[in-house]
Structure 1
Amino acid sequence: MTIHKEGYTSIALTVLFIFIINAVVEYRFADVFILRWFIYIFSFALFITVLQFFRNPKRTFTNGENLIICPADGKVVVIEETEEGEYFKDKRLQVSIFMSPVNVHINRNPISGVVKFFKYHPGKYLAAWNPKSSTENERTTVVVEHKNGSPVLYRQIAGALARRIVWYVKEGDQVVQNEQFGFIKFGSRVDIFLPLGTKVNLELNQVVKGGITVLGELS
């Protein structure tokens, strides 16, 4: 397992913070045994938590020309027909994956194709499971057109803890299935909007793995 590049700064700041609070405790409260051990345990837990959040585990990816692969780790919280009002402006099949702070937060392209649309939206930081987060939170929208002409929209949505969305794509890019298209820090959601009639292989509350679990299949 390696550490994702988006974690370098956060990990360095965490180490600096741990060093400072431990130095203060050693200098000012060296005789308070319980406080010292509390800070030691807290520091260790904080470091491990931040380190695991930015992990980039090695994986054997699932590939398929007409397969739609899950773009993120997490739990399926929505599978429903809904109105997509930003790009398609019609009814689509929405699948949403909630990523908790303990999930890997790398986002991967569910299909290969050409980026036809990209937009970043600044916004609020409502809880990621709140339905309003899809339209009011900080988010990005990416639309990729498969070579068969089917467009798939996927949206990174920041959560209550997430304060930074990172993306690596722009309009006109040729993207490859399972390659990274972005990263969201500390709790978030990814929505996927598919053509009506798309076969979906997932169930509500199913735990999925980005780049591995088959979400569905384009017709």
Structure 2
Amino acid sequence: MSVDLKSTVIKPLHREGPRFVAIFAAVSLALFLVWDPLGWIGLGLTVWCYYFFRDPNRVVPQDEGLVVSPADGVVSLIGPAIPPSELGLGPEPRTRVSVFMSVFDCHVNRAPVEGTVTQIAYRPGKFLSAELDKASEENERNGMTLTMDDGTTIGVVQIAGLVARRILCEVQEGAILERGERFGLIRFGSRLDVYLPRGTAPRVSVGQTCTSGETVLAVLGENAPATARTV
């Protein structure tokens, strides 16, 4: 297998992945002992589990003022919304961009901007389909506020979905994140909401496919000369 083909097929795993892949593989082996067709189904699910927890490197655009997507998936909602009160972003509506992750998307979440984590707040809730507008208010969620050096604040909310049962946030308040840096994961199937600063217009459309850490959701101010890095 060539290096390029190997890197295309074999992806690094998030640290949550190996134990789940091992469980799926063990069940598949047991199913083979019961009936071969069941074993092949289990094997297929094991491969799916491996790719669900994949954690590929991304090339993060480095122009000044960029807001990148925190998740792989499809833009499901764009519009004004009041941020969750626990984020401390005030009572005024902001433009919210929602990215829905299906069970086939990479579920590693990345910081949309560089900044300091000034607020993290978890709220229990329901497990409605993450594609629904009301999921922002009613579903289990974990919110994070990022404050940039110039005082600009952006809210990022991890929202559990219909089959998601665990939200993982791997950073704490006070952490300093780079744009595109990994900060968490949700399993299995979910959504990320980004609350942009007031007056910021999104650069994406509903139905557009996003790549976490790479797709530009919005631009804050003027752009600097383009550079990129791999993380």
Task: Mark yes or no: TM-score above 0.5.
Answer: yes
Equivalent AA in structure 1 for residue 30 of structure 2: I
Q: Which residue of 1 aligns with 2:14?
A: 4
The Cα shift of 1:64 comes to 2.9
> Which residue pairs with 1:108 in the alignment?
110
2:207 & 2:70 partners in 1: Cα distance?
A: 16
The separation in 2 between residues aligned to 1:218 and 1:8, in whole angstroms, is 38
Cα distance between partner residues in 2 of 1:58 and 1:131:
31
Q: Which residue of 1 aligns with 2:47?
A: 48
Q: Does 1:132 align with 2:131?
A: no
In structure 2, C-alpha distance between the alignment counterparts of 1:135 and 1:52, rounded to whole Å:
30
Per-residue CA shift, 1:6-58, capped at 9, x if unaligned? Answer: 112211211222222223x1xxxxxxxxxx34213202211111111111123
> 1:122: which partner in 2?
124
What is the one-letter code of the residue matched to 1:163? R
* Alignment-derived partner of residue 61 in structure 1: 60
Secondary structure at the counterpart of residue 2 of structure 1 = coil
CA distance in 2, matches of 1:143, 1:58: 24
- Count residues in correspondence: 208
Q: Secondary structure of the equivalent of 2:61?
A: coil
Corresponding position: 1:144 with 2:146: yes
Question: 1:183 aligns to what?
Answer: 185
CA RMSD of aligned residues (A): 1.3
User: Which structure: larger Rg?
Assistant: 1
Identify the range of structure 1 (151-160 vs 163-172) with the bigger mean alpha-carbon deviation. Answer: 163-172
| DSSP 3-state at the match of 1:212 | coil
Partner SS state of residue 70, structure 2: coil
> In structure 2, what is the equivalent of residue 218 of structure 1?
220
Cα distance in 2 for partners of 1:109, 1:19 equals 38
Tell me how far apart the structure 1 counterparts of residues 81 and 100 of structure 2 sit (CA, whole Å). Answer: 18
Runs ≥4 in structure 1, deviation > 6 angstroms? none
Aligned identity (percent) is: 36
Alignment partner of 2:98: what SS?
strand
Gap runs ≥5 in structure 1: 26-35
In the alignment, what sits opposite 2:163?
161
Over residues 60-111 of structure 1, what are the superposed CA-to-partner deviations in whole Å (9 max), with x where a residue is unaligned?
2222331101110000011101222413221111000000000000000010
Distance 1:82 1:133 in 2: 13
AA aligned opposite 1:107: N
What residue number does 1:203 align with?
205
The offset of 1:210, in angstroms, is 0.3
When normalised by structure 1's length, the TM-score is: 0.90
Paired residue secondary structure (1:72): coil
